[in-house]
Every structure is written in structure tokens, then in C-alpha cells.
Structure 1
Amino acid sequence: MSEQTPGKWSGRLLAPGDGLRGWWSGLSRVQKWGFGILGFALLALSPLHPPPFFDTPGISFGGTMAQFAMVAIIAIGLNVVVGQAGLLDLGYVGFYAVGAYTVALLTSPDSPWNQISGSGAFSENWAWLSCVPLAMAFTALAGLILGIPTLRLRGDYLAIVTLGFGEIIRLLADNLSGITNGSRGLNGVAYPRVGETDKLPDGVFSSGNSTGHANYGTWWFWLGLILIVAILLLVGNLERSRVGRAWVAIREDEDAAEVMGVNTFRFKLWAFVIGAAIGGLSGALYAGQVQYVAPPTFNIINSMLFLCAVVLGGQGNKLGVIFGAFVIVYLPNRLLGVHFLGINLGDLKYLFFGLALVVLMIFRPQGLFPVRQQLLTYGKRARYLLRSADESKSAA
């Protein structure tokens, strides 16, 4: 048996992500929870005490982190579709748009469907929160309607259909001016009314709270972080269930999975609907934070950036894609206002991401933090019991 070449692992380059992944896999479940809680706590405190080398001098760090939370939610949802089930979706921005427009159409004064009332679920204080489950439901329905006729396609054909879906949603929003206000967009979208004081009459989530580290961007980041934790728990449980194992089987070899009795169409549809609902949640978060929704936001470039976050972080690794989302958001904001040879480096983000993807595909095609799939739900426990049984036999 030949020795492995130094610096290689299974024919691929070793990277810090491999060591980190190996260390994480060796921890017990209690230790993982402990480190996870500590990591998210430090992340939550970062806008209040941003390290000097980590800060974004050209823009509010809290606003940057709020944008990161939105993209991270999108990346987790897209990872369910692309990373877990292996379905190439190039039009995921369409679900993001459906979620954002659901909130905007129901709460904007520019919309003919505005439901804001003086009291009840759609009062000014509760309107945004009431729209969040509706946004998720409508995007899940959109995923179901799109998935039923198209998920029998595979590979490039499915990618082209989903790409067309994303463009159709954007063009509908641009041309249905009687409903969506066309290219002018919908203004005055509802947001959570929390923490109203004399100094902040519209609450901590309003754009009026724009000073200090605990500005409205920081509050939106904290809300997004809570939603990220909830989604990670949901997706993690799905990964360890029969559904997650069916997704892995479909991703690795759909024909073999179908021969072994997996209802591939049903499980692919589950992935599409769940991913769509998570995308709609991020769209609702975006609409509330920006308080303005317009068609140019939901272009194909943004859809490619979302996919870039998944590829960079590591397809199938939900924590890896969060890191990929952070790179996608943080890098342009960090370079904003930084000039080199008279060029604003913040304007070259697409060049940087393109070069990064080319290098990654050559040297690290599995991403920075590739997934280590646990096909057996209790695999670690089973190995421990078998090892104990062998030791008992040896001792006897």
C-alpha cells in the first residue's frame, strides 16, 4: 500500500478547513453545543466591540453584519437545495423576491393590497411579524408550483429552468406597475416596532436609530442571528433524519437511490419547498430592514453571489456556507473606499469573487469547509460499542 503524498488527502489539497472539521467531528454533542453557544455569543457582541482590524471603516459594521445575516439565511436555504439534495438552482433569488414582495405588498402605503390597520394582526406594531409566516408560506407554495413540473429534469436543464424562474419573478415585478409600482418600487414597508422611546419614537429597528454601535443594523443582525440558530436546528434535525439521508443518496447517485426504493421526486420536492421557505424568510427580513423593495435588487448577479457563498463555504456544510456568506458580504464592505492605483477596490468585488472561484475549483473543488456526511445517525455510538465489545473479547 503506497503512502499518501504529503499535503494531500484523498487526492485533494489539505487546508485549515480539514483540520478544523476533523477537530469538530471529534467533539461530543455537549462540547459542540458549548462551543457553538460561545461562538454565536461572540458573534452577537462583535458589532458592539468591533476589533480594529475587523471593522469596516467605510460603512457601519452593524449594517454589514445585518446584511451578512440575511445572506447567511439565504445560503443555508440554498444549501438545502444544492448542497444536500444536489439540485442546481440558479434562480434562487426568485424566492427571495417573493418573500420580500409579500411583505411589501401587504404593508407598503404604495401598494393597492396594503393591509395596515389601526388594530389587530396588521396593526402598525405587528404587521411585519404577521407577514413573516405569510412570506414563508407563499414562497413555499412558489417552490411547490415550480418544483412539480420541473424536478423531473436534471443537471443543466434544471439549472436553465430555475434561472428562467428568477428572471420571470423580476420581470413581473418590473412590469406589473399597477400592483408592484414597477421600477419605482414599494416604499414605507413595515418593520418591528420595538423599543419606542422619546429619543427613538419609531423604535430600535427604524432607520432613525443610526448612531452608535447598537444602531438599527445591529438590532437587525441580532434578529437575523436568532433566526439563523432556529434554521440551523431545523436543518440539522432534517440532516440526521431519513429525509437527510435520502437527500444525500439522491445527490450522490439519483438512479441508484431510486433503485434502492427512495422516492426521489418526493424528496427533491421537499428540498425545493423547504429551501424556498427559508429564502422567503430572508426576503421578509430584507424588506423590513431596507423598508423599500424594487426589482433591480433581485437580478441574476445576486443569485450567482448566493450560489458563490455556498460553493466557497462548502456544499452540504451548513456552517461552512455561513462562512461563505460572511466572505461574500464582508469583503466588498471592508474594501469600500480603499484605493489602489486610483481604483476603488470595493468596486472590484465581482473580479475578486471570480478569481476566488477559479482558484477554488482548481485546488479545492469541495469548498473551504467540505461536509463530512454522517450516513448513520448513531454511527459514533455504534463504533464505540463495537470497539468496547472487541476489547472485552481480547481481555477474556
Structure 2
Amino acid sequence: MSASQTSAAPKTARIDIKKSLVDTVLAGLIALIVFGPIVGIVLDGYSFKLEPVRLAWMIGAVMLGRLLLSLYLQTPAGSRIMDRFESSDSGISVLPPGYKTRLRWIVPLVILAAVIFPFFASKYLLTVIILGLIYVLLGLGLNIVVGLAGLLDLGYVAFYAIGAYGLALGYQYLGLGFWTVLPLAAIVAALAGALLGFPVLRMHGDYLAIVTLGFGEIIRLILNNWLSFTGGPNGMPVPSPTFFGLEFGRRAKEGGTPIHEFLGIDYNQNFKFLFIYVVLFLVVLLVLYIKHRLTRMPVGRAWEALREDEIACRAMGLNHVLVKLSAFMLGASTAGLAGVFFASYQGFVNPSSFTFFESALILAIVVLGGMGSTVGVVIAAFVLTVAPELLRSFADYRVLLFGILMVLMMIWRPRGLIRISRSGFAVRKGVAP
């Protein structure tokens, strides 16, 4: 047999039993730590009751699953699966000439499905999708700050609160409606982003995260403690949106006209949510288009240069102050828009909706979807917000499942669901440079 034939022969995978057993034991210990306080100890009246049998079954299931998975991944079929997740090219690949992305087919289908969806959706499903679209907006905004500019912002929920309370306060004290507050909230949130950006221009990494986290908590505490202005923990009511003065309720206010009477149709309680869904979907499309264009403009390249190496960015003559401020302001304005839609959707706002957990959830959307990846963030937003709403029977374990999902993603897809793609040049094989 020739050397070429020998090299072409398939290599037999050698299964390391010892490694599989070690992984199994570690998985069992982790399962004991995680499930022990939740499953193994049950509150029975005024005392705690141990459930060792149920805990043993769960730990055994985890260990068996880890053993089978470890053994399978060492087989040729498992190795091929691992190769899909792990690559030695650091995420760099050369596409063949004439390559066309599948998005040219997927995007029109998604838009068509979004147009047809309201005609068949129930009120509950419609509200769940609205919530998902709101988090898509939040994810896209934070993706600019964290994913593109590389600025770790842990207080992003503050801009979200500014938009939501902007609608409530604007209506109560100035009589402003949805359409007036929508652009104003984006502007005010952008100005707040600029105010936050100036003090943190020289900060990086952990220090930047601490300052932004403090900013988010300051906004929440102000909303919670300024009783005479924001209502404190009791919150504030938010008016329903209108469409050219037409109201979506069964009965309009004095001098107003319900939209169903104007159109001569029967009243439907979904009118308000249908309106919010349509406007929100159009705004999401607009933000997607703006982000798509900006990432291909000099400002988008400047964000990426700042993320990779700020010193090199400044050496190239780029104004790092303006680059950071533009990222903060654009991301904040997007959160302000999302806040207005959230307040209109909920009809009520209070500080408990804008805790640090919301900032962590939005950051998880960016990390899970892929830093800088637009499509990945859209998918992750629905995975992390819509799925828990549809699985309310597991409400007590939502945070646990959320943590497990993030750990698995960091192991299997450390670059996120969808890696960010960039255009470049490569020398074709067989062609002289």
C-alpha cells in the first residue's frame, strides 16, 4: 500500500474511558451542587424534608447523559460534530467566488411571516411576540456598545427606563402622547448616553463596567425614591397610543373617537396590541437597516478599531472621544425607543421593571447571539425572552435554566449563535500574488 493510500485511510478514533469517567464524576458533583438545594430539600409546612431518592435519580440521569455524550463525542461521528463548533481558523474563512448568503431568502420569508402573523395570533401570543421585539431593539442597541465598540455597559437598563418613564411623565405633566414622546425619548436617552460617555472616556474593562452599573442603579433609585414626581414603587399609569387621534379602547375619552366606530367594524381587544406590533416591527426594521449601513461606514469601522485596540485607533488619527460617544448615544437612543414601546405595551411602569437583572439579560442576548452579529442578536432575543414566557410552568426554574443555557453556550459556541462576518480579501490558491 502506498504512502498516499495510507494517509487517505480513515483514522480510527481512540476512546479514552478514563477521561469520560472523570467528566462523568465532575458532572455529578456539579449536579449535586445545583440540584441539591432545589430538589433534594423540600419545605414541608414549617420544616424541611429531605428527598434523597429524587435527587439521586436526577444526579444519575445527569451522570449517565454526560458519560454517553463524552463517549459519543470521541467517535468519528462525534468528532465531526465537534468540528462544526470548534475551528482552528479563528473564525476566518474564505468564501468561494459567486457565494450568495441564505439571508437573501430568509429575510423576505421572515417579513412575510411577520405580516401574516397578526391575522392568526391570539392576544397572548401577540403580546409575547411584542415583548420579543422590544428585546430585539434592546439587544441591537447594546450590541453597538458592547459588540461593536467593545465598551462593557452594565447599566444599559437606565436608558430603557428613561424611555419608559419619559412617556409616563410626559403624559402626566405635559400632556404628551405616544407619537410625540417616541422621538423625544430617543433624543433624551441619547443625551443621557453622552453624559455617561464623557466621564468614562478614559476607563476600560472592569472599571467601565462598574461605573455604568452605578449609573443604572442611580437611575433606578431616583425613580424608586422620588415619590412626588415618579410615584416611587407605586409606579405611574401610561396612556394607550392613538392613531391620528383615533383611540383603541371600546369607549373613547370625551371628544375622542374609537377606531372601530370610525371604521365601522366590531370592537376587538387586540386593536391596541396590533397597532403596537405593527409600529414596533417597522421601527425594528428601521434600526436593523441603520445598523447595517453604519457598520459599513467609517463610523462602524472606527467602532471595531476601538474595540480591537484603542491605542492603535488613536495612532491612526481617529478621535476616540467621538467614537465612544457615538456608540453610547446610538445605543442609548435605541433603548429609549424600546422603553416607549414597553410602557405603551404594559400600560404601567414602575422601577421593578428596570433592575440589574434586565441589564444582565440584555447583555446575555448580545453574548449568546454573537458579539457584533445582528442576526444572532435577533435570534437570541427571542430565545431568551419568548421561550420563558411560553414555558411559564417552569417559572421557578427559569433562572436555573437560563444559567445552564449560558454555560452550555460558552462551552459549545463561545463566539455566539452566529459569528459576525466581515468582508475582506484573500489570495486565491494557485494564483500568484
TM-score bracket relative to the smaller structure: 0.7 to 0.9
Partner of 1:367, secondary structure, is coil
Counterpart in the other structure of 1:96? 160
Counterpart in the other structure of 1:115? 174
Q: C-alpha distance in 2, partners of 1:256/1:210? A: 58
Q: CA deviation at 1:324?
A: 0.7
1:153 aligns with 2:212: no
Match of 2:310 among 243, 254, 276: 254
Q: CA deviation at 1:203?
A: 4.6
Counterpart in the other structure of 1:347? 396
**Using a 3 Å threshold, how does the CA distance of structure 1 residues 294 and 367 change in structure 2: closer, same or farther?**
same
Match of 1:27 among 79, 100, 103: 100
Match of 2:390 among 325, 334, 337: 334
Q: CA deviation at 1:262?
A: 2.3
Counterpart in the other structure of 2:86? 12
**Using a 3 Å threshold, how does the CA distance of structure 1 residues 6 and 188 change in structure 2: closer, same or farther?**
closer
The residue type equivalent to 1:184 in the other structure is: N
Stretch moving more, 153-162 or 187-196:
187-196
What runs of 5+ residues in structure 2 fail to find an aligned partner?
Answer: 1-6, 9-78, 253-257, 261-265
1:240 aligns with 2:296: yes
The residue type equivalent to 1:167 in the other structure is: E
Counterpart in the other structure of 2:333? 277
Q: C-alpha distance in 1, partners of 2:271/2:400? A: 32
Q: C-alpha distance in 2, partners of 1:324/1:104? A: 29
Match of 1:141 among 177, 191, 198: 191
1:69 aligns with 2:133: yes
8 Å CA contact retained: 1:65, 1:217: no
Structure-1-length-normalised TM-score? 0.77
Q: Deviations over 1:205-260 (max 9, x none)?
A: xxx9775xx55334322221110000011111100000111111111222222222
Counterpart in the other structure of 2:356? 300
Larger radius of gyration: 2
1:48 aligns with 2:119: yes
The within-5 A match list for 1:186-335 is 186-193=236-243, 196=247, 201=252, 202-203=258-259, 211=269, 214-335=270-391
**Using a 3 Å threshold, how does the CA distance of structure 1 residues 10 and 290 change in structure 2: closer, same or farther?**
closer
Q: C-alpha distance in 2, partners of 1:27/1:99? A: 39
The residue type equivalent to 1:159 in the other structure is: A
Q: C-alpha distance in 2, partners of 1:348/1:215? A: 34
8 Å CA contact retained: 2:158, 2:219: yes
**Using a 3 Å threshold, how does the CA distance of structure 1 residues 198 and 259 change in structure 2: closer, same or farther?**
closer
8 Å CA contact retained: 1:66, 1:218: no
8 Å CA contact retained: 2:235, 2:348: yes
The residue type equivalent to 1:280 in the other structure is: G
Q: Deviations over 1:68-113 (max 9, x none)?
A: 11111011001000111111111100000011111111103xxxxx
**Using a 3 Å threshold, how does the CA distance of structure 1 residues 305 and 11 change in structure 2: closer, same or farther?**
closer
8 Å CA contact retained: 1:99, 1:136: yes
The residue type equivalent to 2:420 in the other structure is: V
Match of 1:363 among 394, 407, 412: 412
**Using a 3 Å threshold, how does the CA distance of structure 1 residues 262 and 189 change in structure 2: closer, same or farther?**
same
8 Å CA contact retained: 2:166, 2:181: yes
**Using a 3 Å threshold, how does the CA distance of structure 1 residues 188 and 274 change in structure 2: closer, same or farther?**
closer
8 Å CA contact retained: 1:173, 1:295: yes
Q: C-alpha distance in 1, partners of 2:161/2:247? A: 29
The residue type equivalent to 1:37 in the other structure is: P
8 Å CA contact retained: 1:313, 1:369: yes
8 Å CA contact retained: 2:149, 2:307: yes
What runs of 5+ residues in structure 1 fail to find an aligned partner?
Answer: 109-113, 117-121, 339-344
Report 1 or 2 for greater relative contact order, CA contacts < 8 Å, sequence distance ≥ 6. 1
Q: C-alpha distance in 2, partners of 1:268/1:192? A: 37
Q: C-alpha distance in 2, partners of 1:225/1:13? A: 36
8 Å CA contact retained: 1:7, 1:13: no
8 Å CA contact retained: 2:248, 2:271: no
Counterpart in the other structure of 2:14? none
Question: Could you tell me the percent identity over the aligned residues?
Answer: 35
Stretch moving more, 189-198 or 306-315:
189-198
Q: C-alpha distance in 1, partners of 2:237/2:385? A: 24
Q: C-alpha distance in 2, partners of 1:6/1:369? A: 19
8 Å CA contact retained: 2:238, 2:349: no
Q: C-alpha distance in 2, partners of 1:115/1:192? A: 17
Partner of 1:46, secondary structure, is helix
**Using a 3 Å threshold, how does the CA distance of structure 1 residues 357 and 141 change in structure 2: closer, same or farther?**
same
Counterpart in the other structure of 2:75? none
Q: Deviations over 1:8-51 (max 9, x none)?
A: 5698269xxx9xxx89x9327xx85564233122133234335x
The residue type equivalent to 1:269 in the other structure is: L
**Using a 3 Å threshold, how does the CA distance of structure 1 residues 132 and 357 change in structure 2: closer, same or farther?**
same
**Using a 3 Å threshold, how does the CA distance of structure 1 residues 198 and 292 change in structure 2: closer, same or farther?**
closer
Q: C-alpha distance in 2, partners of 1:135/1:322? A: 23
Partner of 1:302, secondary structure, is helix
The residue type equivalent to 2:182 in the other structure is: V
8 Å CA contact retained: 2:368, 2:416: yes
8 Å CA contact retained: 1:63, 1:217: yes
Count of aligned pairs: 338
Q: Deviations over 1:338-383 (max 9, x none)?
A: 3xxxxxx133221111111111112211111111123x5xx6xxx8
